[in-house]
């Protein structure tokens, strides 16, 4: 590896992208930060990213367009990159399929076109939930094992990762990092964006939905955003060690029973009843609960059914150790942070939640 590198980071303004960018510039490298609509990079702690000692070069683009929608000058600049880190993706649930195809599939294809032209080594950020709806252990070297994706997001990420594998077969040096459900920082619980599981927590703890389909032993894996960023940045910086590997960036396994027991520790929180999916009927919910169920909980229903464990042998060997904190302790940190900043614990609104929801894994 050269002493300093130039790294093109797509989705650099996103939760993971900004943290990866911060780590790369902190290590002295130049980051070409591909930005779509946002112009400012904000770190997970809410502060603007101050690059250094490396350099940050914002580049406006759109991964849904061929050539990433770059100007000729920016395209020339992008070709100087020593690495590409592809973080850009839509991660919200419940969007039209075309949206997933456009950003997650076509976007990845366009990034691969750029990478293959070099060829430029690529770190592709996927999701651990490409494993689809299944129980048991999901291994890092597995991809398409005939699984059924849980939603359009998972389908698109599976397709995108398949494209990446195909490019690797053509000789492109590739590393795939698969985060699970990205949540707050390991030590503080702090999070910049209350997406992924956060709206679900809000709906449950306010008692806006009191019954939900799910197995008490279903497992959700919550990974601190700093752990994901460490692993992605590490893969870019130590690419020789990571090349050809798929790394599960996973964190704390929490069952629905864990969620139930920990939520019960907070006097003001309502604890949802998890009813076996076979015994659950959304139409039987009180009218007041139905909109919240349909707009938030139903989008996450697939994750309340799975009893999946992510093997992270390769990630651990690479140096991406899981945090030593226990899962329940970590969940408390997330909840405490939400209470501190008023995301949770405020009185329920009069009207159902806004139409836009963000129930997604990475």
Partner 1 sequence: MILTEDRLQGLLDASLAELPPLAADFAVVLEGSIAEGFGNPSSDIDFLLIGRGDEDLPTMPSLLFVDGRRVEIRTRSVRQLTDQFRTLEKQAKRPGTLCEDLLNRCQRLLHSHPLRGHDLVDEVKELMPRERLSRIAGDWWAHRARQSLRHAVALLRLGRTDEAVDWNRAALVQTVKAWAADRGETYLEPKWLSLQLDRAGRPDVRDRYGELHSTTPAPGDPDAARAHLLACLAFAAGLGLTGVAADPERLTVERAAGVTTWQTGERVHVIRRRREVFALGDRAGAVWRGLVPGRSLPRALAAAERTGGTAPGPLLAAFWRYGLIRLAWKGGGTVTASLPLAAPPGPVTPPPSTAQPPLSVAGAAVSGPDAVDLVPLPADRFAAATMALVWSNVVVENALEDLTGALERGQWPVAELTARRAVHAALRGLFSSYGVNPLPADCDLVHRMDLLPPATEPIRTRAGHLLRRTIDSPGRGEAALADLHAFVTLVRDTAGADAFPSCFDSADAWRATLELGHDWLRIGAYLDAELPIEEARDLLAGHGTRPHRSGRHPAPGRNGRWPTR
Binding region for partner 1 (CB under 8 A): 210-211, 216, 257, 260-261, 264-271, 273-276, 278-281, 284, 336, 339-340, 345
Give whichever of 138 and 212 is closer to partner 1, judged by the CB atom: 212
CB of 186 to partner 1, least distance (A): 20
Cβ at position 281, least distance to partner 1 in Å: 5
Residue 326 or 356: the one with the smaller Cβ distance to partner 1 is 326
Instruction: Name the minimum Å distance from CB 333 to partner 1.
Output: 13
Smallest distance from partner 1 to CB 290, Å: 14
What are the residues whose beta carbons fall under 8 Å from the beta carbon of 188, sequence distance 6 or more? 333, 337
Contact 282, 186 (CB under 8 A): no
> Which residue, 61 or 214, has its beta carbon nearer to partner 1?
214
Nearer to partner 1, 206 or 358 (CB): 206
Specify the length of the chain in residues.
362
Tokens standing for residue 146: 């005939």
Backbone angles phi, psi at 9, to 5 degrees: -115, 115
* Distance in Å, CB of 207 to partner 1, minimum: 9
Nearer to partner 1, 1 or 341 (CB): 341
CA atoms within 13 A on the CB side of 155: 16
80 versus 346: smaller Cβ distance to partner 1: 346
- Closest approach of partner 1 to the CB of residue 287, in Å: 13
């Amino acid at each position: 590896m050269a002493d300093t590198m130039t790294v093109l980071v797509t989705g650099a303004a996103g939760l993971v992208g900004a943290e990866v960018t911060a780590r790369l510039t902190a290590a002295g490298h130049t980051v070409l930060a591909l930005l779509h609509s946002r112009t400012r990079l904000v770190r997970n702690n809410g502060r603007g990213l101050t690059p250094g000692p490396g350099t940050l070069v914002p580049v406006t683009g759109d991964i849904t367009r061929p050539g990433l929608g770059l100007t000729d000058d920016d395209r020339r600049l992008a070709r100087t990159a020593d690495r590409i880190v592809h973080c850009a993706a839509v991660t919200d649930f419940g969007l039209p399929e075309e949206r997933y195809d456009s950003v997650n599939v076509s976007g990845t294809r366009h990034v691969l076109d750029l990478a293959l032209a070099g060829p430029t080594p690529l770190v592709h950020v996927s999701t651990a939930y490409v494993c689809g709806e299944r129980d048991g252990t999901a291994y890092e070297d597995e991809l398409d094992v005939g699984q059924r994706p849980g939603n359009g997001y998972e389908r698109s990420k599976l397709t995108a990762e398949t494209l990446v594998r195909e490019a690797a077969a053509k000789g492109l040096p590739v590393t795939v990092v698969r985060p699970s459900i990205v949540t707050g920082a390991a030590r503080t619980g702090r999070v910049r964006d209350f997406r992924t599981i956060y709206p679900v927590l809000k709906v449950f703890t306010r008692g806006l939905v009191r019954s939900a389909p799910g197995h008490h032993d279903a497992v959700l894996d919550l990974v601190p955003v700093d752990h994901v960023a460490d692993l992605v940045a590490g893969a870019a910086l130590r690419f020789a060690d990571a090349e050809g590997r798929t790394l599960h960036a996973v964190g704390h396994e929490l069952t629905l029973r864990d969620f139930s027991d920990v939520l019960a520790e907070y006097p003001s929180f309502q604890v949802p009843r998890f009813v076996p999916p076979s015994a659950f009927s959304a139409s039987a919910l009180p009218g007041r609960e139905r909109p919240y169920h349909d707009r938030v909980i139903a989008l996450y229903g697939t994750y309340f059914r799975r009893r999946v464990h992510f093997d992270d042998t390769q990630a651990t060997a690479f140096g991406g150790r899981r945090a030593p904190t226990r899962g329940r302790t970590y969940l408390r940190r997330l909840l405490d942070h939400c209470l501190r900043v008023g995301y949770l614990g405020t009185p329920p609104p009069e009207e159902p939640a806004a139409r836009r929801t963000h129930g997604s894994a990475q």
